[in-house]
Chains A and B, each alone.
Chain A
């Protein structure tokens, strides 16, 4: 579905359904350089389970027009503007990586609009290495390579996709390659510069869950300790064998975990 948000055309996947205001809504927010397709399995699932699903393409990503936004706070405001445009009063937010920071910021700054959050492959702060930032700034393919390889657990470097016929490394790399020049850099810088996450986390009043990959090398489990302490009583699910690309590496375990808060 395409709608106008802040003067640009925003795309969101809704499982080809209209939004019904009497249904609960789940919003899915992708990570850096990605688009809504990373959530296809999960959004189809929650659509069948009686929810409106809204799987967004952030500005400048996928099918949404406009420039990529500079900060997590701006991205959070954009998500709220999107809810306004769809006449949705409140929603559960599921975010991956950068998307998890956006969900966190929404829950802290717009608590009346957020029913629950699930932060997938998250950490706060989320420092990004200079090697990735520099390569992304130069639109160097090496940035895609680093994120693709480090984004999967060691065992998944050779694939082993439970979703038949898809070479998981290849599909993830292609999503990065499809991003417009500069987009990945904007996203990575926003992750790097969002340092207020743990302060914001303390304000969260809704149910919150962390879904972490036990073998995540980009946002390792140990780097989530501050966040786990800051959020009031979070539900934490650590998925064995998964790295950072949890939607691909552990799609079924992620769905089962999401049911605990959605």
Chain B
């Protein structure tokens, strides 16, 4: 089955040029999302997940910038676009639900107007009134009362705001939604409901979703494929069964091992022993080797090769390299 590629990232590097040094937050990432897929991006705090997301949106905050690499969104390389071209792509092709989405709504504007506005400035409609029926449909899609269109954010509960944000992300029928820890600020029951909404929206519209999260049980439940990120690099990827049933990278094993069972009670990610490295001065060789229980000599000297097992199925680890290469 030939699958249509929605997003293809090649060798992306995004660094922050701070006074204290260059923070290599994204350092050579390859990632692909196909149509209708839910792809999870998992990694410890500070490994560069949000930076990757901002790179795709073309809005890496200064002092950061994309150093090299390519980001293809249905065959358009976003890295080469001008500001105005980028502005037009944003939200129409790729929208985003932000980390801490509770605060993504402007407190002094009606929620409906905030959605209509996106349509207006992408020339989908020419007058605000024309957008109202679309917004009501979107509200129904995410399970919100359409009469809430003229509410202000403070009149809504956290879960309702989150639904508005998802509705807003769908306003222009994008190919891809990036959801950066979309449920962190919510209580557990609401979290589950919101994830259901997101899955439901995906089923009805066929939109692809890149889900960024720490929540491994959630990943196991909802995603099709998983990328494991560590210190600015993708260390392993595969379909959700491979990753959870037979994880190959010691880091992935550590993450999964920290969660008792996929079906078991949800539990916060237990930190692996040790600290993630300072991304200004990452360790030489494999960035994980100082924390790795299976580290060998070579791991601290040379960067591990990428061992491919199939399309979109690889691990970057010396353990899987042929004997002859481990020198």
> Do A and B bind?
no
User: What residues of chain B have their CB less than 8 Å away from a CB belonging to chain A?
Assistant: none
User: What residues of chain A have their CB less than 8 Å away from a CB belonging to chain B?
Assistant: none
